[in-house]
Amino acid sequence: MAAAAWIARRPVLWVGAAFLALTLNMDALAPHLGFLFPPGTRLVYSRASFPELVAAHALLTGAASLVAITLGIAAALFATRPMGRAYAGTLDRLGALAQTFPPVAVLALAVPSLGYGALPTAFALVLYGVLPVMGAGMAGLRSVPAPVLEAADGSGFSPAGRLWRIELPLAAPILFAGIRTSVTIGIGTATIGSTVGALTLGSPIIDGLSGGNPAYVLQGTVLVALFAVTVDLALAEVQRALTRRAR
């Protein structure tokens, strides 16, 4: 009973299960969906299997997110240390400015220098992913009350010790909210990468749109949506644990 209640309180488990089941069985399921579409529509996507598409999509967003998170945290740390405080305003404004730039425009601008495929997509993902992490990191670090910092300094923490033991644990819940936003946006944005030739769950969507095949569009869309929701819910669980621990 208790186990059932525990599972019921964690939607990530059943949304995740649905995502996994659909990914593995889409090719078997697709031939039975003919009644949804105009007669003659090809139902089974043939360029790559869905497990392959999911793996490529996960690899692309995962790698880009890792880079984005690393850069974002580094920028937030820099902007809140004595040496970088002078640049904090510039970074804030740069973040706001970059966010107004549409992802498609970034892709279009990246192609001439980086070529087609995964590379320009990864570049755009990193660019977009850095900003929420940097913003949340700065907000989190600035949220640590001044008396706490004064007491930490007065107690004799080294700057690194203060950062590691006091500032980062207290900033963690806010920082992690930014990481969650960044990763979730990345999963959605990666689909656009298929317009410049990256293999992602966006491939069936783009191919479906250009080839007039609504079955491909539906399959890709459902899986991308489930993927994003699963990851978002999983990160929400981590965030909840962090908030509980950071009190």
Smallest gap, in angstroms, from Cβ of residue 78 to another protein? Answer: 22
The amino acid present at 38, given as its one-letter code, is: P
Q: What are the DSSP E strand ranges found in 25-154?
A: none
Q: Which residues between 108 and 147 bind another protein (CB under 8 A)?
A: 145, 147
Say if residues 229 and 15 touch (Cβ distance below 8 Å): yes
Q: Does 245 bind another protein (CB under 8 A)?
A: yes
What DSSP line would sit under 138-176, residue for residue?
HHHHHTS-HHHHHHHHHHT--HHHHIIIIIHHHHHHHHH
Dist CA 152 CA 221 (whole Å): 50
Smallest gap, in angstroms, from Cβ of residue 150 to another protein? Answer: 6
Dist CA 114 CA 193 (whole Å): 13
Q: Which residues between 214 and 243 bind another protein (CB under 8 A)?
A: none
Q: Does 75 bind another protein (CB under 8 A)?
A: no
Structural tokens at position 183: 């990763």
Say if residues 243 and 175 touch (Cβ distance below 8 Å): no
Q: Which residues between 144 and 183 bind another protein (CB under 8 A)?
A: 145, 147-158, 161, 166, 169-170
**Which residue, 122 or 171, has its beta carbon nearer to another protein?**
171
Distances (CA, A) of 107 to 25, 45, 57, 239: 32, 25, 16, 31
Structural tokens at position 95: 């973040």
Smallest gap, in angstroms, from Cβ of residue 143 to another protein? Answer: 11
Smallest gap, in angstroms, from Cβ of residue 242 to another protein? Answer: 11
**Which residue, 86 or 160, has its beta carbon nearer to another protein?**
160
Say if residues 72 and 130 touch (Cβ distance below 8 Å): yes
**Which residue, 52 or 153, has its beta carbon nearer to another protein?**
153
Interaction mask 30-49, another protein, x per CB under 8 A: --------------------
**Which residue, 85 or 165, has its beta carbon nearer to another protein?**
165
Smallest gap, in angstroms, from Cβ of residue 136 to another protein? Answer: 18
Give helix then strand counts, H and E, for the chain.
11, 0
Smallest gap, in angstroms, from Cβ of residue 144 to another protein? Answer: 9
**Which residue, 18 or 246, has its beta carbon nearer to another protein?**
246
Residues that bind another protein (CB under 8 A): 145, 147-158, 161, 166, 169-170, 245-247
